[in-house]
Structure 1
Amino acid sequence: MPEPFKNLINAALVRACGNHLHRHWHDFDRRGFEARALAGLDALEMKARAMQIADALEASLPDDFDRAAGIIEAALAPPARSDELDFKTTDAGLAGWIGWPLGEFIARRGQAEPQRALRALRELTQRFTSEFAVRPFLVHHFALTLAHFVRWQHDPSPHVRRWVSEGSRPRLPWGLQIRSLIEDPSPTLPLLRSLQDDPSPYVRRSVANHLNDIAKDHPGVVADWLEQHLPGADAGRKALLRHASRTLVKRGDRRVLKAWGLGSRFRGEARLAASPGRVAVGDALTLVATLVSSARSPQALAVDYVVHHVKANGGSSPKVFKGWSLTLAPGETRRLEKSHSLRPITTRRYYPGVHRIELQVNGSVVAEAAFTLRA
């Protein structure tokens, strides 16, 4: 059985943190820190572990925030020089998952000294990531934080440049939502424009995810972006923009589909079959789509499918799944097959009943099928 993800934050990591902090501040109460951080740690989930260690840091580091931040910075491992993500705490210093509670400490205690805190987070993000810890500064010190991001968009470290994009995402998963940027994403658009052609794929993928966040609330902004930045784009930018378009392609947004050459409605016949007709949670469903072209010219097609999951109240909730991208020749018949898993996941609960499935081509529903999920 795989090791639980939460065990990445463990007793050995706490002790290593205490050792490194004590090396750089001899008055650090290492035993007291460890006692607070380790109390009942094994019974806690991952976030709770990080928060408990942050509590122990607050109780153990100096009240003077500048001094506390300096101790943390001195205890860090050398900064990462490439896109490599395998950060680990070693004899050289702190890095990796201990960065979560360290960032939480800076986010809590640094609100009164935001400039000093942001400098500390810039150092930390080169050893882990400061994308979560910077969120409270965007809420409480927006102009100041954005001004620092404007300067750091050209930082030599790809981890800092990626942080500029990732830390300012409106809807960062697991992170505090930035309501002002959900309502108006325009302040970060110049940053994304600068970073979309970054030499690091790590940075560019963050820009794509940031644009996809914006697409959920302001589809027109991303449609405008595609119309402006897709023509003449090189392979790297095209890959970024395709990833940024994924939500709007699934939604069948006409402007976005047109930008990708997918704006025309499918010409031909379509069939969809789901088997077996009755399945249980944990099983897999086989979907077979058949497309028959009646066109006289090739058709560029984005083929997705929509599962209408039954809810507890008997209603349904649609979820779009990525299917296939293809070019269908004139008069061609194409058979497409995919296995759809019904294994339980943390973000979805399955309920028994008849689930409809729609086949969607270039944003329009062209065929339907159904299956019954058993209790």
Structure 2
Amino acid sequence: MEEGFLFKDVFNPKLVAIMGQRIKAVWPQFDDVSFQNHIVPNLVDLSLSERSHLISETLYTHLPSEYIKAMDILLSSFNLPVETKEMTGFDGFYYMPIARYVSIYGLDEGDFETSMNALIEITKRFTSEDAIRPFIRKYPKQSFKYLYKWSADENVHVRRLVSEGTRPRLPWSSILREFIVDPRPVLDLLEELKTDSELYVRRSVANNLNDIAKDHPQLVLKTLRRWKSINDKGTQWIITHASRTLLKQGLPEALDLLGYPTDVKISVDNFILNKAACKMGEEIEFAFQIESNAEEEQNLMIDFVVHYMKANGKTAPKVFKLSKKKLPAKGSLNFKKKLSFKAITTRKYYEGLHQIEIQVNGKRYGKREFQLKK
């Protein structure tokens, strides 16, 4: 990767030229010079998504107005599908503007079957997880008919699309509000993928369930309890990774399901902070000890909770995973952890009183306070 490379630079003059050449090779009438001249001079000041939008809009003005014919040309210009199970690198972003082309121009002007077939060919090379969502909203029954069929597809990327495309809260994409209200249609789809042989697919299934658990914890728990009896290592892996939100919330049923009972016999002692105040950009360190009061070994899931000061002057808790340990009978465990307040893009820090708690098998112990200062 070149020095000074920005993520948006995956859409660059070279990519535009290659796209134009490939399309012209299968459709000689394509004016690749005009195509490049409409895009390249305008790239500099645009973001990643804006560059993708510009390319897809320029494709629309340079391809035949008949959607089916335009898609036939685009599909004929594609390279071979990705062979690996998981996609890496930036090469696949070549297909991002084409996926958007389908989601915009195929939704109202196009043929539904043509659009579905195009999304499959795109997802074999990049992903259609965002592009399929407008079709799911507008044509839910027709879309789910395809999704059920794709759940048994031989291509791992197609099977993953079934789960990733229906995630209610897919990151960097619009939410599927109808499945936040009622996720049962999605849960029925995930049943088809729960024993998938590929981790790439199972990880998506777990993430989908974790999304649903944020709004319907009991419904997800009911599903996971049923899956617990399935003699399949992959399914059991899904259960563990789909429970992340449920475990952070300290939901007793979820903890019991994974073998972390909430009636542990412990005490948390010697819980100390290394300083009473911390400056922005610095770290604060805390330490504590867990003592067993039981005559038998106990499974512990140890987390810590930071009560961050927010802009409104109130604190809000954030749970962080720390460790999973077996605590010997009458034994003890010691922990030490640093908490950083260095600037990051995903969290904004505010001055004021902060608190740290220890959480063991969903139950919170102790509370220590410190001031965060500029």
TM class, shorter-chain normalised? Answer: over 0.9
Question: Relative to structure 1, is the Cα distance of residues 299 and 193 closer, same or farther in structure 2, using a 3 angstrom cutoff?
Answer: same
The residue identity in structure 2 corresponding to 1:65 is: Y
- Note if contact 1:33-1:60 (Cα within 8 Å) is conserved in structure 2: yes
Question: Relative to structure 1, is the Cα distance of residues 15 and 287 closer, same or farther in structure 2, using a 3 angstrom cutoff?
Answer: farther
More displaced 10-residue stretch of structure 1: 102-111 or 190-199: 190-199
Give how far 1:314 is off: 1.0
Match status 1:108 vs 2:104? yes
What SS does the aligned partner of 2:125 have?
Answer: coil
Give how far 1:70 is off: 1.0
Give the corresponding residue for 1:187.
185
Superimposed CA distance per residue, residues 134-158 of structure 1 (whole angstroms, 9 cap, x where no aligned partner) = 0100111111111100111111100
User: For 1:68-147, what aligned pairs fall within 5 Å after superposition?
Assistant: 68-86=70-88, 89=91, 96-112=92-108, 113-147=111-145
- Note if contact 1:87-1:128 (Cα within 8 Å) is conserved in structure 2: no
Give the corresponding residue for 2:304.
305
The residue identity in structure 2 corresponding to 1:220 is: Q
User: For 1:202-351, what aligned pairs fall within 5 Å after superposition?
Assistant: 202-271=200-269, 272-351=271-350
The residue identity in structure 1 corresponding to 2:102 is: I
Measure, in 2, the Cα distance between the counterparts of 1:287 and 1:48. Answer: 45
Give the corresponding residue for 1:8.
10
Measure, in 2, the Cα distance between the counterparts of 1:296 and 1:173. Answer: 45
Q: TM-score under structure 1 normalisation? A: 0.94
Measure, in 2, the Cα distance between the counterparts of 1:46 and 1:99. Answer: 13
Give how far 1:9 is off: 2.4
Question: Relative to structure 1, is the Cα distance of residues 210 and 63 closer, same or farther in structure 2, using a 3 angstrom cutoff?
Answer: same
What SS does the aligned partner of 1:266 have?
Answer: coil
Q: TM-score under structure 2 normalisation? A: 0.94
- Note if contact 1:305-1:322 (Cα within 8 Å) is conserved in structure 2: yes
Measure, in 2, the Cα distance between the counterparts of 1:86 and 1:312. Answer: 38
Give how far 1:279 is off: 2.2
Measure, in 2, the Cα distance between the counterparts of 1:264 and 1:179. Answer: 34
Superimposed CA distance per residue, residues 315-348 of structure 1 (whole angstroms, 9 cap, x where no aligned partner) = 1121111111111111111111223232322221
Structure 2 gap segments, 5+ residues each: none
- Which of 39, 57, 67 aligns to 2:69? It is 67
Give how far 1:207 is off: 0.5
Measure, in 2, the Cα distance between the counterparts of 1:279 and 1:26. Answer: 66
Q: Share of identical aligned residues, percent?
A: 36
The residue identity in structure 2 corresponding to 1:9 is: F
Measure, in 1, the Cα distance between the counterparts of 2:206 and 2:181. Answer: 19
Give how far 1:307 is off: 1.0
Question: Relative to structure 1, is the Cα distance of residues 279 and 4 closer, same or farther in structure 2, using a 3 angstrom cutoff?
Answer: farther
The residue identity in structure 2 corresponding to 1:268 is: I
Give how far 1:274 is off: 3.0
- Note if contact 1:114-1:141 (Cα within 8 Å) is conserved in structure 2: no
Superimposed CA distance per residue, residues 227-256 of structure 1 (whole angstroms, 9 cap, x where no aligned partner) = 111235433222221110001100011111
Measure, in 1, the Cα distance between the counterparts of 2:52 and 2:360. Answer: 45
Superimposed CA distance per residue, residues 129-186 of structure 1 (whole angstroms, 9 cap, x where no aligned partner) = 0001001001111111111001111111000000011011111111121111111111
Give the corresponding residue for 2:45.
43
Give how far 1:125 is off: 0.2
What SS does the aligned partner of 1:331 have?
Answer: coil
- Note if contact 2:268-2:365 (Cα within 8 Å) is conserved in structure 1: yes
More displaced 10-residue stretch of structure 1: 223-232 or 274-283: 274-283
- Note if contact 2:252-2:262 (Cα within 8 Å) is conserved in structure 1: no
Give the corresponding residue for 1:149.
147
What SS does the aligned partner of 1:305 have?
Answer: strand
What SS does the aligned partner of 2:220 have?
Answer: helix
What SS does the aligned partner of 1:296 have?
Answer: coil
Give the corresponding residue for 2:358.
359
- Note if contact 2:354-2:371 (Cα within 8 Å) is conserved in structure 1: yes
The residue identity in structure 2 corresponding to 1:265 is: D
Measure, in 2, the Cα distance between the counterparts of 1:344 and 1:175. Answer: 25
Structure 1 gap segments, 5+ residues each: 90-95
